[in-house]
Amino acid sequence: MKKRAEIIISGRVQKAGFRDFIDEIAFDLNLDGYVKNLDDGTVEIVCEGEEGPIRDFLEKINIIQYPIRVENIDVVYKDPTWEYKTFEVIREEDLTLATYERMDAAVRYMRQMNSDLGQKIDGLGENLSCKIDGLGENLSQKIDGLGENLGQKIDGLGVKIDQNRAEIREMNSNLGQKIDGLGEKIDQNRVETTSEIRLSRDDFRSHLDERISNIERELAEMKARFMS
């Protein structure tokens, strides 16, 4: 349902660019009417539109934002007259006052733009910081994972080296045993060969002594026969 709202706003609301701010809000909410400054320092608004948008309008213009300070809003609701086709700012006939107010409005918009830009830069810095932190964390995790894998590989290599050492030690032990066994066999063969040589030499000497004894005996017998 459409309504007509007749509004009087008091506070620091003149020469601060407030009327241009009101005009922008009315445009966004599709309200028709006007806003103007009164001689007592207040601002008068007459707007017509749907009841919901008018409530939103009253909430949005009730601000304390340097250099504007709204202290009180009086509202009277009436039936719409349908006399307005758009929303407008009624300015003073004094061009100097109107120019100063437009300049104040421009300064307020610039201040608001700087504030918004600062918030965006802060948000960008925060997001960038979060991304850098995330990148650092991911890099740290990858380095930790790489170090862990490298450590496991080194441990595995160490185990293989220890196994190879054990195998080499066992091979050396077996080789030593074989060499010792071969030495024992060689010693045994040397003893056996020496014994055989000694026995052969003793047999030969005994046989030679026996032959010499027989020859001497035969010579003695022959000499005895020749002598007789």
Instruction: Kindly report, residue by residue over 180-218, the tens digit of the pLDDT.
Output: 777 777 777 777 777 776 776 777 777 777 878 888 888
Known catalytic membership, residue 165 = no
The verdict on 56 and 108 lying in the same domain is: no
- Of 4, 12, 19, 165, which residue is the catalytic one? 19
Instruction: Count up the domains in the chain and report the number.
Output: 2
CB 29 within 8 A of CB 49: yes
Same domain, 84 and 146: no
Indicate if 57 and 110 belong to the same structural domain: no
Mean pLDDT score of the chain: 82
Residue 211 is predicted with a pLDDT of 79
**37 has catalytic annotation:** yes
Task: Tell whether 61 and 75 lie within a shared domain.
Answer: yes
3-state helix, strand, coil in the chain (%, to 5): 70, 20, 15
Whether 34 maps to a domain, the answer reads: yes
Q: Is-contact 37 43, C-beta < 8 A? A: yes
What is the rounded distance in angstroms from the CA atom of residue 48 to the CA atom of residue 2? 7
- Measure the CA–CA gap between 170 and 39, rounded to whole angstroms: 113
Q: What is the pLDDT of residues 28-40, one digit of tens each?
A: 999 999 999 999 9
CB 61 within 8 A of CB 21: yes
Domain that holds residue 173: 94-189
Sign (positive/negative) of CA torsion 149, 153, 155, 156? positive
pTM above 0.85, yes or no: no
Say if 47 falls within a structural domain: yes
Which of 4, 37, 108, 127 is catalytic? The answer is 37
Q: What is the C-alpha to C-alpha distance for residues 190 and 11, in angstroms, rounded to an integer?
A: 130
The last residue of one of the domains, among 90, 108, 127, is 90
Tens of pLDDT, residue by residue over 140-161, are 787 777 777 767 877 777 777 7
